[in-house]
């Protein structure tokens, strides 16, 4: 479909859930041979194997809260979103949440809490978390707000409910920006896509708090920009090994070591690749490649899936994958409602 078509909205949320559910198989694995990935994926096609339902993890659980909150409040309401995170956690605590964020989610359920951002600020000796938990749930922000500055602002605030370190919340901003641009069809011109992300993140990371966190954590002056430049270098190379991707971009639980990686997975899989079946469409390639990197596979596949789904649209996603993942129907409904919200709020001049 064209820019911001319903198919792209549905693709984004559905492929995000698929990445999480399918990627859960390899989360934390150090090395994942492509052969194992392809075996896992072909077992999804085989109904006689009875893979059953693959459950979603915290990535999708929290993204659902974000989508529900944005829809119910027709915009960003930090109190409502915080309440939903807390309620979801207490209803299903065993979705594989990060070890630190559990404290925040428990505090957020206290009725005495006035400042909903305070529990996140108390994390990790007052510096806040740099985990990828803000980024993994950022896609719905891109689907709710047509305006780029709103996407940036609300993805930032939504992440701040659990991740107050700039290396955490700026990962969420970058992920939301990538979905936003992909929804517009910006991946048709991959080099311009990455240049636009760099331009936006230059501004985002120019902020005083971001510079300070980067200094304290001994990262580059603008850590996400630096990674985006590495992506551009990798894109220009004819051959890139999995090992190089891991060593240049990472595959870990920090937002800095996973959001740029997810973006690279999408860019790398825009064309067919030798290591992947010819029959695969773009979303299948992207998710398969994300899993082969190992590490935080559910989250990297979830983020890459959302960006890729916004590019290729829902029609390219195999039904057999959709059928075996928990929560896909809901994601599809949220996508349809967010599509209406997005187009309603567009100002007609």
Nearer to ligand R7I, 165 or 317 (CB): 165
CA–CA separation, 134 and 160 (whole Å)? 8
Candidates 290, 296, 307, 308; binder of Mg ion (CB under 5 A) is: 296
Two structure tokens written together for 19: 């990445």
Q: How far is the CB of 252 from ligand R7I (least distance, A)?
A: 8
- Contact between 205 and ligand R7I by CB under 6 A: the answer reads no
Q: What is the DSSP string of 30-63?
A: S---HHHHHHHHHHHH-GGG---PBPP-HHHHHH
- Contact between 298 and ligand R7I by CB under 6 A: the answer reads yes
Binding mask of the shown chain, residues 101 to 140, with x at each position contacting ligand R7I by CB under 6 A: x----------------------x--x-xxxxx--x----
Q: Which of 76, 55, 57, 82 is nearest to 140 (CA)?
A: 76
Q: How far is the CB of 255 from Mg ion (least distance, A)?
A: 11
Nearer to Mg ion, 90 or 195 (CB): 90
Q: How far is the CB of 296 from Mg ion (least distance, A)?
A: 4
SS3 of residue 97 by DSSP: coil
The number of helix segments (H) and strand segments (E) in the chain equals 19, 0
In the list Mg ion, ligand R7I, none, the entry touching 175 (Cβ below 5 to 8 angstroms by class) is none
Q: How far is the CB of 215 from ligand R7I (least distance, A)?
A: 14
- Contact between 58 and Mg ion by CB under 5 A: the answer reads yes
Measuring CA to CA, how many Å separate 349 from each of 5, 341, 346? 20, 18, 9
Phi-psi region at 189: left, alpha or beta (left = phi > 0; alpha = psi -120 to 50): beta
- Contact between 223 and ligand R7I by CB under 6 A: the answer reads no
CA–CA separation, 240 and 232 (whole Å)? 12
Measuring CA to CA, how many Å separate 297 from each of 4, 227, 252? 28, 19, 9
Q: Tokens 């051959």: give the residue.
A: 239
CA–CA separation, 65 and 69 (whole Å)? 6
- Contact between 297 and ligand R7I by CB under 6 A: the answer reads no
Q: Which stretch binds Mg ion (CB under 5 A): 72-80, 89-97, 203-211, 214-222?
A: 89-97
Q: Which stretch binds Mg ion (CB under 5 A): 49-57, 235-243, 257-265, 267-275?
A: 49-57
CA–CA separation, 225 and 227 (whole Å)? 5
Q: How far is the CB of 100 from ligand R7I (least distance, A)?
A: 3
Two structure tokens written together for 340: 């209406």
**Which chain residues interact with ligand R7I by CB under 6 A?**
57-59, 96, 98-101, 124, 127, 129-133, 136, 165, 253, 296, 298-299
**Which chain residues interact with Mg ion by CB under 5 A?**
57-59, 96, 296, 298-299
């Amino acid at each position: 479909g064209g820019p911001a078509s319903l198919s792209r909205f549905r693709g984004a949320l559905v492929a995000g859930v698929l990445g999480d559910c399918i990627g859960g198989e390899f989360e934390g694995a150090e090395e994942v041979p492509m052969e194992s990935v392809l075996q896992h994926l072909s077992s999804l096609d085989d109904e006689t194997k009875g893979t059953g339902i693959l459950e979603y993890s915290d990535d999708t659980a929290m993204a659902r809260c974000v989508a529900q909150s944005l829809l119910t409040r027709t915009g960003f309401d930090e109190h409502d979103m915080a309440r939903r995170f807390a309620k979801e956690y207490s209803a299903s605590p065993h979705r594989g949440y990060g070890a630190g964020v559990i404290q925040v989610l428990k505090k957020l359920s206290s009725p005495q809490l006035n400042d909903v951002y305070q529990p996140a600020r108390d994390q990790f000796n007052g510096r806040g978390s740099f985990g990828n938990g803000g980024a993994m749930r950022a896609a719905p922000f891109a689907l709710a707000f047509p305006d780029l500055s709103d996407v940036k602002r609300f993805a930032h605030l939504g992440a701040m409910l659990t991740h107050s370190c700039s290396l955490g919340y700026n990962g969420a901003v970058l992920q939301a920006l990538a979905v936003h641009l992909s929804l517009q069809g910006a991946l048709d011109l991959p080099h311009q896509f990455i240049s636009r992300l760099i331009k936006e993140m230059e501004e985002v990371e120019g902020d005083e708090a971001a510079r300070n966190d980067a200094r304290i954590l001994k990262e580059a002056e603008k850590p996400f920009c630096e990674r985006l430049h590495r992506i551009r270098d990798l894109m220009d190379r004819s051959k890139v090994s999995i090992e190089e991707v891991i060593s240049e971009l990472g595959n870990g639980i920090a937002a800095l070591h996973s959001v740029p990686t997810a973006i690279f997975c999408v860019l790398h899989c825009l064309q067919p690749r030798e290591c992947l079946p010819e029959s695969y469409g773009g979303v299948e390639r992207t998710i398969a490649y994300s899993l082969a990197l190992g590490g935080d596979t559910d989250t990297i596949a979830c983020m890459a899936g959302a960006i890729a789904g916004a590019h290729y649209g829902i029609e390219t996603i195999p039904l057999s994958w959709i059928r075996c993942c928990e929560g896909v129907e809901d994601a599809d409904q949220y996508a349809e409602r967010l599509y209406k919200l997005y187009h309603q709020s567009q100002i007609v001049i």
